[in-house]
């Protein structure tokens, strides 16, 4: 797939370019700051934009704010935030912007090139790929939600895995239960979160957004 990469560390940027090209991807632009990321996406229209969170010019949350703005402008753009930081406010906004085709992974938890390549493939296909540690950190800062309090412990486990982008089959494997049991738990989650009948994929996104609400 065609990628735009934003990473301010020259060594890491060059290393990622080589790894991504080795995996068969076309890195059409590699930049070192957030404004250049926006310009590159506008010019090259990539399949996925990869960015760190803390980048020039301010070295705060510039990279994450840039992809939030880009997703508003280009809703079909895949986004992978690849960082060692969890920036809660804009992470929520990025997920609330549609969740589909979005990833947020922590650099030091990526074990190999295959896992990064698999994440990019899922994002390009419209799935969400969220590191469990990102979910954990966001949830630890979340105010209680009355609707979420209705869920049983098992339903909360299922919803947490949904938030990580897991399919029903993957959830069944992780929890060592049948796929039919997972389907029942998912249906119960939809009911308890007052999500009216609509395509299940839409309700999954809404359920995940509820999960990330304060």
Task: Record the tokens describing residue 63, joined without a space.
Answer: 């990279």
**Domain 2-131 = CATH 3.20.170.30:** no
Task: Record the tokens describing residue 90, joined without a space.
Answer: 């804009």
CB neighbours of residue 193 within 10 Å = 20
The boundaries of every CATH 3.40.50.2300 domain in the chain are: 2-131
The boundaries of every CATH 1.10.10.10 domain in the chain are: 142-212
* pTM exceeds 0.75, yes or no: no
CATH of domain 142-212: 1.10.10.10
pLDDT tens per residue across all 214 residues of the chain: 999 999 999 999 999 999 999 999 999 999 999 999 999 999 999 999 999 999 999 998 999 999 999 998 998 999 999 998 887 777 777 776 556 789 899 988 887 888 899 999 999 998 888 887 777 776 665 555 567 778 898 998 998 888 877 889 999 999 999 999 999 999 999 888 887 666 555 677 778 777 766 4
Tokens 């090139």 -> residue: 113
């Amino acid at each position: 797939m065609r990628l735009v990469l934003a990473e301010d560390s020259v060594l890491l940027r060059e290393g990622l370019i080589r790894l991504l090209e080795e995996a068969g991807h076309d890195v059409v632009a590699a930049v070192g700051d957030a404004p250049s990321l926006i310009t590159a996406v506008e010019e090259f229209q990539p399949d996925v934009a990869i960015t760190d969170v803390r980048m020039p010019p301010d070295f705060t949350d510039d990279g994450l704010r840039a992809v939030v703005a880009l997703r508003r402008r280009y809703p079909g753009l895949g986004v992978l935030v690849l960082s060692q930081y969890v920036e809660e406010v804009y992470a929520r906004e990025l997920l609330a912007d549609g969740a589909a085709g979005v990833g947020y992974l922590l650099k030091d938890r990526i074990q190999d090139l295959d896992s990064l390549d698999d994440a990019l493939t899922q994002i390009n296909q419209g799935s969400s790929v969220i590191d469990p540690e990102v979910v954990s950190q966001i949830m630890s800062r979340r105010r209680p939600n009355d609707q979420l309090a209705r869920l049983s412990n098992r339903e909360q486990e299922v919803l947490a895995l949904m938030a990580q982008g897991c399919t029903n089959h993957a959830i069944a494997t992780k929890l060592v239960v049948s796929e039919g049991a997972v389907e029942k738990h998912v249906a119960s989650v939809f009911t308890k979160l007052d999500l009216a009948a609509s395509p299940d994929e839409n309700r999954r996104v809404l359920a995940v957004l509820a999960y990330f609400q304060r």
